[in-house]
A and B are shown apart, each in its own frame.
Chain A
Amino acid sequence: MPIGTKSSLRDYLIKQLPSATAFINTDFKVVHASDQWIDTFNFSATEVFGSTIFDLFGSPNKSWRRILQSCFKGQPTEIDPSTYVDHNNDQIWIQWQNIPWYDENENVIGAIIQAEEVTQSVNNQLELEKLRTCHNSSDDHPTDAKTAEGEILLKTLIDNLPLNVFIKDLDSKKVLVNKSECEYLGVEHPEELLGKSDFDLYDREVAQISRDEDLQVMRSLTPILGRETANKKKDGKTTTFLTSKIPLIGEDGAVKGLVGISLDISDLKQKEEELRDLINVTSLQNKKLINFAHIISHNLRSHAANFAMLLDFFVNERDTVEKNRLTGMLIEASDNLLETLENLNEVVAINANTNLNKKPVYLTKTVAKVVQSLSAFLKTNNAKITNDISEDVQVNVIPAYLESILMNFITNGVKYKEPSRDPILKLSAIAENGNIVLSISDNGLGIDLKKYGDKLFGMYKTFHHHKDARGIGLYITKNQIEAMGGRVTAQSTVGKGTTFKIYFNGKN
């Protein structure tokens, strides 16, 4: 093509434009077009020139016409991408630029229309849009949303229950633990417990019991509900739980593991134990009281009976000498009653002073003191005392009671001596379970404990012919020992001797 004239040069340049570009006059007729334009829209060169833009692109588009008209007034406008079906019947996306076409005098003589194929970028955009829509729609999906919400609710619930909750797999390894369980086992994060079995966390014996329970639950598919279990951690700390284990069945109907729920009842358990101790102490005291009431009623009754009988005689007696004799007997009966009352009073006083004024004393010092005060009595009876108590042994006692107890056992040991030999008493002390045990052995008459064992420490029980035997000493001694929280036992062989063991309570 010759490029001689100005217009032919312009035509040539337009033809070579890399973009699909058309020049239309104000009648919308195509004046120039690039090859790219003709190619893009698959026009024939002959039909393009002289046809209106609306002829070429089908029915006149009102909004496009308006846009082009405003373009003729100097207003460039871009039109959003729209579709165009090309000769291959493929849908392509075109972005239109409408620019005013000026002549050398700056008069608008038409419009320059540039078409840019943007199919690829539109498709990308659409793809993205689609994805976003997809994503949004999944959020909006009603069941999915509910599941998520439900999960949060469940987790909040499980973590805030005042119960230890755990799920174990078939190997009894933890696959879920809640906050309480973590706190109980002293870890911060559940991850530290997951995959661990009871053998990793608890004392072996306890872990074995737990594993056996797990197997039972998973095999029988029968839950264990509210069973009291004692758990012992590796550090030896014991906790009592009320535990339920429920088999966990998977969607396929096969057992997957178990759900465990434990309630810590250690505090309750301890209170229960304290209560039981209290009941034991109370019932023991009650028994003592009944026993004492019995002693009182019996002893007072015998005196009352004597008074009644003697008075009956006295009233019916005419003989003065006999009357005087009866008066003497009445006085004796009265003295007996007073003595009994004094004894009973002493016992009441001992039991009322329980644990009062207890203080530590050196046992051997008190023994020496008592032996010293009995020296005349011991000498008269040729008695020998061996004190093997170590000097540093201390006992927590009411000092006056300790003296009275030692006095009673030592005088008894001498008083009930075997006539054929001189009395020998041996005192020794050992520590046993935090208590001090004082042993007092004699080589005296001994006593048949099979016969008298249950009466040995009873009131007004005497077992030997002895003018001074009143049957009150051992009863009072026993009361004094028990009032200080201790106890006393006896061993004896008739003809060989007796050993009393006094257990002093180590606690205050």
Chain B
Amino acid sequence: MEKINSIYIVDDDPITVFGIRKILDNIVKCENIDAFGNGKLALESIIKALEEASEIPEVIFLDINMPIMDGWQFLQEFIKLPLKEKVRINIITSSIDSVDRENWEFYKTQTHHLVTFINKPLRSEELIKITKSA
């Protein structure tokens, strides 16, 4: 079983958060799985971790439609952070809007982090493939 130090789930839908957690329990060994209701909360947590030189998440599950700060706004801020580590960001969405796919294509080229795009519903077979260090 894959071992990961820290995973963030950024999603405002408790059912999705519950689902991701449940699947992750069975496919990875991870002590720190944290969930955030919007992009702003997750970003603040990462900035705090940077300042305290504590653990930065290796994998982020990112929803797009969220209040306060949505997935794209989060990504925009995240790629500006002075992070040497390569982080895997998995965009998880029920959106079938082509604009969202175009946004993903754009952000992929703007950063050294690994950005993937996956449509809901979530299946554990798929989650296994994308829950690993970048």
B65 at the interface (CB under 8 A from A): yes
Which residues of B lie under 8 Å from residue A309 when comparing CB positions?
Answer: 15-16, 19, 120-123
How many whole Å from A125's CB to the nearest CB in chain B? 107
Which residues of A lie under 8 Å from residue B22 when comparing CB positions?
Answer: 313
**CB-CB under 8 A for A310 and B19, given A294-B97, A464-B68, A465-B68:** yes
Q: Is the Cβ of A463 less than 8 Å from the Cβ of B122?
A: no
In the complex, the chain B residue whose C-beta lies closest to that of A464 is B68
**CB-CB under 8 A for A306 and B15, given A294-B97, A301-B94:** yes
How many whole Å from A465's CB to the nearest CB in chain B? 7
Chain B 87-103 per-residue mask, 1 if CB under 8 angstroms from chain A, else 0: 00000001111000000
A308 at the interface (CB under 8 A from B): yes
In the complex, the chain B residue whose C-beta lies closest to that of A303 is B94
Which residues of B lie under 8 Å from residue A329 when comparing CB positions?
Answer: 15, 18
CA distance A312 to B120 in the complex (A): 13
CA distance A306 to B94 in the complex (A): 9
Chain A 228-265 per-residue mask, 1 if CB under 8 angstroms from chain B, else 0: 00000000000000000000000000000000000000
Which residues of A lie under 8 Å from residue B94 when comparing CB positions?
Answer: 298, 301-302, 304-305
Q: Is the Cβ of A463 less than 8 Å from the Cβ of B15?
A: no
**CB-CB under 8 A for A306 and B73, given A301-B96, A463-B68:** no
CA distance A451 to B13 in the complex (A): 22
In A301-360, the 8 Å CB interface with B consists of 301-302, 304-310, 312-313, 329, 332-333, 336
How many whole Å from B41's CB to the nearest CB in chain A? 9
- Secondary structure call for the B interface: loop
**CB-CB under 8 A for A306 and B13, given A298-B95, A313-B19:** yes
Chain B 7-23 per-residue mask, 1 if CB under 8 angstroms from chain A, else 0: 00000011110110010
Which residues of A lie under 8 Å from residue B121 when comparing CB positions?
Answer: 304-309, 312
In B3-46, the 8 Å CB interface with A consists of 13-16, 18-19, 22
Which residues of B lie under 8 Å from residue A469 when comparing CB positions?
Answer: 67
CA distance A460 to B121 in the complex (A): 20
- Secondary structure call for the A interface: helix
Which residues of A lie under 8 Å from residue B73 when comparing CB positions?
Answer: 451
Which residues of A lie under 8 Å from residue B14 when comparing CB positions?
Answer: 332
Which residues of A lie under 8 Å from residue B13 when comparing CB positions?
Answer: 302, 306
Q: Is the Cβ of B97 less than 8 Å from the Cβ of A302?
A: no
A462 at the interface (CB under 8 A from B): yes
CA distance A305 to B68 in the complex (A): 23
Which residues of B lie under 8 Å from residue A223 when comparing CB positions?
Answer: none
CA distance A297 to B93 in the complex (A): 13
How many whole Å from A243's CB to the nearest CB in chain B? 48
Which residues of A lie under 8 Å from residue B120 when comparing CB positions?
Answer: 301-302, 305-306, 308-309
How many whole Å from B75's CB to the nearest CB in chain A? 14
Q: Is the Cβ of A461 less than 8 Å from the Cβ of B67?
A: yes
In the complex, the chain A residue whose C-beta lies closest to that of B12 is A462
CA distance A471 to B13 in the complex (A): 14
How many whole Å from A292's CB to the nearest CB in chain B? 14
CA distance A451 to B95 in the complex (A): 21
CA distance A308 to B124 in the complex (A): 12
Please tell me which one of the listed residues B15, B96, B97, B123 contacts residue A310 in the complex, with CB atoms under 8 A apart. Answer: B15
CA distance A463 to B122 in the complex (A): 27
Q: Is the Cβ of A332 less than 8 Å from the Cβ of B15?
A: yes
How many whole Å from B127's CB to the nearest CB in chain A? 11
Query: Ordered nearest first, which 3 A-B pairs have the shortest CB separation?
Result: A305-B120, A462-B67, A308-B121
Residues of B within 8 A of A (CB): 13-16, 18-19, 22, 65, 67-68, 73, 94-97, 120-123
9 A-B residue pairs with Cβ-Cβ distance under 8 Å, sorted by A, are: A298-B65, A298-B96, A306-B16, A309-B15, A309-B16, A309-B121, A312-B123, A329-B15, A465-B68
**Known A305-B94, A465-B68; further 15 A-B contacts with Cβ < 8 A:** A294-B97, A298-B65, A301-B120, A305-B121, A305-B122, A306-B13, A307-B121, A309-B19, A310-B15, A313-B19, A332-B15, A333-B15, A451-B73, A460-B65, A469-B67
